Amino acid sequence: MTRKTAPSTTAGGARIPQARPPGEAGPAHRFDLLRQMMFIRQFEDKCVELYSGGEIHGFLHVYIGEEAVAVGVNSALTPEDSIVSTYREHGHALVRGVPLDCVMAEMFGKTTGCSYGRGGSMHLFDVSRRFYGGNAIVAGGLPLAVGLALADKMRGDARVTACFFGDGAVAEGEFHECMNLAALWDLPVLFCCENNRYAMGTAIERAQAQTDLALRAESYGMPAWPVDGMDVLAVAKAARLAAESVRSGGGPHFLELKTYRFRAHSMYDPDLYRDKAEIEQWKQRDPITALAGQMRAAGELTDTDIESARDEIAAEIDASVDSARAAPAEPVDDLTRFVYSRRSS
């Protein structure tokens, strides 16, 4: 088997797919992407507030700064496609269409939550929308994605399974096994590596001998491109191209989405391991301000548009908090329900 791709390299070292998807989408589409990113951002800002206020507990990993990745990739998927994600998956769940109220209620551990309150922040599920979680073992979701794709391929369903994971996951043995298996069996998986440069406190240079992760992925003989993960349009374009190829039998593809998390790894993290200046630099590239700026410059967006979107979203989120607060907690007697399908109590 030979290498299946050799993406061209631009001067700056970033390689972009050679083929171009047919004409860009218009302003309405861009506004939609913007609004989705704002939605995730505002949702998570609220979560941080609720966590500090003692209403959300356990682990909370926010996606702030990385929204362009989930929004861009999701824009390339259809409702028939599947998603497997990590513990940093609020964004993926929301853009997938898991109802806000259900996601928020899950943060509160209520029975109206998308996982019945059982999972919390790290374990959002919505099988009706083919959203398969919410996996908190690093790289633990990759084999599931491979298996979902295997089922699709064996049945002849032309689905894509989008599998999200971080740069840290690339060091795990499971990553390797899954890349090989997907490539060997030509499975319809879209691997989406969210390279935010850190695995908790460990910078990628101290974790990966080869920090060019797309190059690493390519060594399995699979098309792999680095993408500017702070630019939602770039992500959307690359994802569309990749997803179309996957869907039409092109086998697995790998996107290295170069991004950054603006906040600490989790609410427990004092964030001592990186320079404040580095964080500030990346914040200059905030995907929301970036897209908004572009759209404003193109005359597609006014301050009022933004403000009213922000207000609408805020109202929706506030309502979801109210409904989550009011929702019932699971009775303790149901604790053992769903350990097995047949022995619900």
Ligand X SMILES: Cc1ncc(C[n+]2csc(CCOP(=O)(O)OP(=O)(O)O)c2C)c(N)n1
**Footprint on this chain of ligand X (rule: CB under 6 A):** 88, 136-138, 166-169, 194, 196, 198-200, 265
The answer to whether 242 and 257 have CB atoms below 8 angstroms apart is no
Q: How far is the CB of 211 from its own copies (least distance, A)?
A: 6
Tokens representing 295?
Answer: 């759209």
Position with the least CB separation from ligand X: 166
SS3 11: coil
The residue type found at 68 is A
Select the binding partner of residue 30 from ligand X, its own copies, another protein, none (C-beta < 5 to 8 A, by kind). Answer: none
Among 21, 45, 57, 180, binds its own copies (CB under 8 A): 180
Cα–Cα distance measured from residue 89 to residue 122, given in angstroms and rounded to the nearest whole number: 7
Select the binding partner of residue 210 from its own copies, another protein, Mg ion, none (C-beta < 5 to 8 A, by kind). Answer: its own copies
Q: How is 254-303 classified by DSSP, letter by letter?
A: EEEEE---SS-SSTT----SS-HHHHHHHHTT-HHHHHHHHHHHTT---H
The residue type found at 227 is V
Q: Which is nearer to its own copies, 183 or 236 (CB)?
A: 183
Among 7, 99, 147, 250, binds another protein (CB under 8 A): 147
Tokens representing 220?
Answer: 């399995």
Q: Could you tell me which stretch among 115-123, 224-232, 292-300, 304-312 binds another protein (CB under 8 A)?
A: 115-123
Cα–Cα distance measured from residue 207 to residue 211, given in angstroms and rounded to the nearest whole number: 8
Q: How far is the CB of 167 from Mg ion (least distance, A)?
A: 4
Locate tokens 């993408």: which residue? 227
Among 17, 65, 91, 166, binds Mg ion (CB under 5 A): 166
**Contact between 117 and its own copies per CB under 8 A:** no
Beta-sheet pairing, 198-199 with 202-203:
antiparallel
Q: Which residues contact 298 (CB under 8 A, 6 or more apart)?
A: 27
Cα–Cα distance measured from residue 318 to residue 101, given in angstroms and rounded to the nearest whole number: 10
Among 5, 74, 121, 208, binds its own copies (CB under 8 A): 208
Give, as ranges, the residues between 172 and 211 that touch Mg ion (CB under 5 A).
196, 199
**Contact between 180 and another protein per CB under 8 A:** yes
Q: How far is the CB of 157 from another protein (least distance, A)?
A: 9
Q: Interface with its own copies by CB under 8 A: which residues?
A: 1, 3, 171-177, 179-180, 183-184, 205-211, 215-216, 218-222
Q: Interface with Mg ion by CB under 5 A: which residues?
A: 166-168, 196, 199
